[in-house]
Structure 1
Amino acid sequence: MKKLYGISKVIFPLLIIGLIIYLFYAQPFGHRPIKFGSTYMTMNNDFYQTLNEPIANEIDDHNDILYSRNPELSVNNQVNEINNFIKNEVKVIFINPVDGTSTKLIRALKKAHQAGIKIIVVDSQLENSSNYVDCTIRSNNYQAGVLCAKELMSKQKSANILILQQPTAISVVDRIKGFENTIKNNKNFHIVDKINTTGQSENSYPKVQKYLKQGKNFDTIMSLNDKTAVGALAAINANNKSSKIAIYSIDGSENIKKMLSTQNANVKATVAQSPLQIGKVAIKVAYKLINHQKVKKEIILPVKLITSKNIKNFNITGWQ
C-alpha cells in the first residue's frame, strides 16, 4: 500500500505538469479570444460561403471566435445582426451589405464604429462610407462590366440587350455602368429593358420567363452575376429560345465555367472574380486593424474574362 502511495505521489505531479504543458501549447496563457462577426447579403450563394472560408480558417488558427450570420437578403435582419455583434463585443465586422444605400443599415454600422468596432466591407460598397468604414475590399466591378461589353461587341455585330440588375447593390450598379458606358457610342447595340432581381436564380427565372412570354424582342442578356444568369438560362430553355439568346455574366462560378467548357450555345462569357482572394485579404486587413496598423481604405482586386477559348486556363471545379 505504501508502495502504491509512493508511486501515486510521483505520477500525479507528472500528470499535472503534462496537463499544464498541453494547455500552454493548445491555448497560450493570457490569450483572450478576439471576437469577429460576418454578415453577407445571403449565404444562399456559394460565392459568400467561399469568401468566408479563409476568414473562418484564419480565425480558428488564432484560437479566436467568428460569429457568422445570414441576413437572407433582409436589411432588417442585417441591422439586427450588427446590433447583436455590438452586444457580443466583437472587434471586427465583415459585411457585404444587403442594401448599400440603406439609412437603417448605415446607422447601425456607424453605431458599431462608434463602439470601437472595425468595419470591413467585402465584395461591394456602402454609400458615403469614409467616416465609418475602415476598409473596403472588392473586385474591379466597373472593369467587369467593360470586359463583358467588349467581348459582346467583338462577337456580335449588333444586339438588343436585356439587363438583369440589382440596384440596391453598389457593386452591381458599377458593373452595369461599366457595361453601358462601353456600348453607348455604338448605335448597333441597344438596351431594350432592365429587370430588377435579387441576384438569385430562383428570382431571375420567373422574371425572365414572364418577359419571354410577353414576346419582347431581345437577343442578348447582360447578367449582374452567374446565379442570375443560371436562372435566366433555365427560363430560356423552358421557352425553347436556346438558340437565339446570348448570355454574358460576372462571377466565374463553377456552373458557368462548366457551361463554357462544353461550349453551351447561350453562355458566351463570364468575368471572374475571386472570393477566396477577397476573404484572404479581408482577414489579413482585420488583424492589422486590431494591431493598430495602417491599412488602405480601399483595396480593388483585378478581374479576368473567361470564354470558351481560354476556359482551359481556369479551374472549373471551384472558385479561383
Structure 2
Amino acid sequence: MELGEYMNRKVILTSAILAASAALTGCRVAEVTEEEHEPKIFGATYMTRNNPYFDVLHEAIENVVEGNGDIVISRNPCQDQEKQNDQILEMLDEGIEVLFLNPVDWETVEPALKACQEKGVIVINMDTVVKDQEYVSSIIETDNYEAGVQCAEDMMKRLDKARIVVLDNPTQTSISNRVQGFIETVEASAEGDNYKVVARKCGQGEFEDSADAMASILNRGIECEVVLGGNDPSALGALAALQQYHEDNGVLIYGIDGSPDFKSMLNLGLVTGTSGQDPRQIGEVAAQTAYDCLDGKEVKKYISITPYMITQENLDDYEITGWGR
C-alpha cells in the first residue's frame, strides 16, 4: 500500500471515529440533560370549583408550574373541610413538595397544615387566610378589607340612608374581612346612624345558597335598599331571589370579585358595583413565591394585592368577558 493511500485511509478512519465519538457524547449529554430535571409535584386545593374564580386562579398556577416542567395535581373538596383535609393527606402520599391552599374553613384545616409541616411540604396560602399562619410560608390575597371599604364608600355616595342585607360566610376569612371593611366604614362615617344592617345571613359564597338565604329574608318580610354579597356569586344569588319575589326594583346590589358574570349583569343595569380582584395575578404570584421557597430564597409572609371598584360609570374601562383590569 502506498504511503499516500495509507495516510488518506487513516484520515478517513480517524474522522469516522471522531464522528462516532461525538455522536455518542451527544447522546450522553442529551441523556444527562433529560435527567437533570426530575419534575416536582405541586398540589392545589380550593374550597370549591363551583366558582369560576378558582378555575382562573388554578389555570394561572398551572401555566407557571407546567412552564417549568413540573406537575400540578388538584382536588375539589366541594366546601367540605373534612374532605379537604383527607384530600391533602392523599396528595402528601403522592409526593407533593408544595401545596397551594385555599381552605374551606380557616380553623379546622389545622390537622392538614400540621401534616404538611411534618412532611416538610411548603404551604402557599391563597385568598382565604388560615388561622394558624405559622404553618404557611406565604399568604397571597387581595386586600379584602379594602374591597369592603370600596363598596361602602360607593353606596354612601348613592344613598343618604339605607337598610342593608349582608350575605356572608363566617368560616371564610376573605368574606368576613370584606364584610368587616364594609360595616366599619359605614359606622365610622358622619352619617353612620342612617345606615342599618337589617339582616345578616350565611350564603356560603355560593349562588344557590345565597339565593336561598335571600329568599328566607324576604319571606320574613324584611325590606332593604342595599344588598352586600360577600363575593359575586353571593350577590348574583341575591339578585335571583329579589327578581323572583319582584323586589329588585331600586335595590343596590354589591358583589366582590369583578367576575365576567357580574360585569354582564352590571352592563344590563341589574346590579350596582363590585370590588374587583385578579385571580390570574394571585395565581402567578403564588406560583413564583413557591419556586422562591424551593430555591431557598426569603419570601414575604404576607402579600396583599389592591382591589379596584367597578361600576356602570367606569365599566367601559374593563373587559366584560374577562378578569382583571
Same fold per TM (> 0.5)? yes
Counterpart of 2:17 in structure 1 is: none
After superposition, the C-alpha distances for 1:44-73 in whole angstroms (9 at most, x for unaligned) are 111000001121112212221111110110
| Distance in 1 separating the partners of 2:262 and 2:66 | 32
The aligned residue for residue 242 of structure 1 is 248
User: Which of the residues 154, 157, 166 maps onto 2:160?
Assistant: 157
Q: TM-score, normalised by structure 2?
A: 0.88
1:235-272 CA deviation, whole Å, 9 max, x = no partner?
Answer: 111111121321011000001112222323xx111000
Matches within 5 A, 1:52-131: 52-102=58-108, 105-129=109-133, 131=134
Counterpart-to-counterpart distance in 2, 1:165 and 1:213: 19
In the alignment, is the contact (CA less than 8 A) between 2:165 and 2:199 conserved in 1?
yes
Task: Show the counterpart of 1:283.
Answer: 287
SS of the aligned residue for 2:263 comes to helix
Equivalent in the alignment of 1:306: 310
- For residues 31 and 290 of structure 2, the distance between their equivalents in structure 1, rounded to whole angstroms, comes to 25
Contact 2:43 2:91 in 1 (8 A): yes
Q: 1:175 aligned to 2:178?
A: yes
Question: TM-score, normalising length from structure 1?
Answer: 0.90
Q: Could you tell me how far apart the structure 2 residues matched to 1:21 and 1:77 are?
A: 46
How many angstroms apart in 2 are the aligned matches of 1:221 and 1:149? Answer: 11
Aligned residue for 2:48? 42
Consecutive unaligned residues of structure 2, counting only runs of 5 or more, are 1-19
- What is the distance in 2 between the residues matched to 1:114 and 1:143? 35
Matched with 2:296 is 292
- Higher gyration radius (CA): 2
* One-letter amino acid of the structure 1 residue matched with residue 173 of structure 2: I
Correspondence 1:151-230 to 2 at 5 A? 151-185=154-188, 186-230=192-236
Question: How far apart are residue 24 of structure 1 and its match?
Answer: 5.6
* AA at the equivalent of 1:98: V
Unaligned runs of 5+ in 1: 1-12
Q: Distance in 2 between matches of 1:47 and 1:21?
A: 46
**Cα pair distance change 1:23/1:194, threshold 3 Å:** farther
How many Å separate the matches in 1 of 2:28 and 2:247? 68
Are 1:147 and 2:178 an aligned pair?
A: no
Runs of 4+ in 1 over 3 A off after TM superposition: 19-25
> Is the CA contact 1:167–1:196 (under 8 Å) kept in the aligned structure 2?
yes
Query: Any conservation in 1 of the 2:144–2:178 contact (CA below 8 Å)?
Result: yes
Deviates more, 1:118-127 or 1:61-70: 61-70
| Contact map agreement 2:264 2:320 (CA 8 A) in 1 | yes
| CA contact 1:43–1:49 (8 Å) conserved in 2 | yes
Give the letter aligned to residue 125 of structure 1: V
Q: Is the 8 A contact 2:101 2:123 kept in 1?
A: yes
Q: In 2, Cα distance between the equivalents of 1:21 and 1:259?
A: 60
- The 8 Å contact of residues 42 and 73 in structure 1, kept in 2 or not, is answered as yes
Q: Deviation at 1:43?
A: 0.7
Alignment partners' CA distance in 1, 2:127 and 2:292? 19
Alpha-carbon distance between aligned partners in 1 of 2:79 and 2:53, rounded to the nearest angstrom: 15
Contact 1:261–1:312 (CA<8 Å) still a contact in 2?
no
- In the alignment, residue 151 of structure 1 is paired with which amino acid? D
- The structural deviation recorded for 1:214 is 2.1
Distance 2:29 2:205 in 1: 48
CA-atom RMSD in angstroms: 2.2
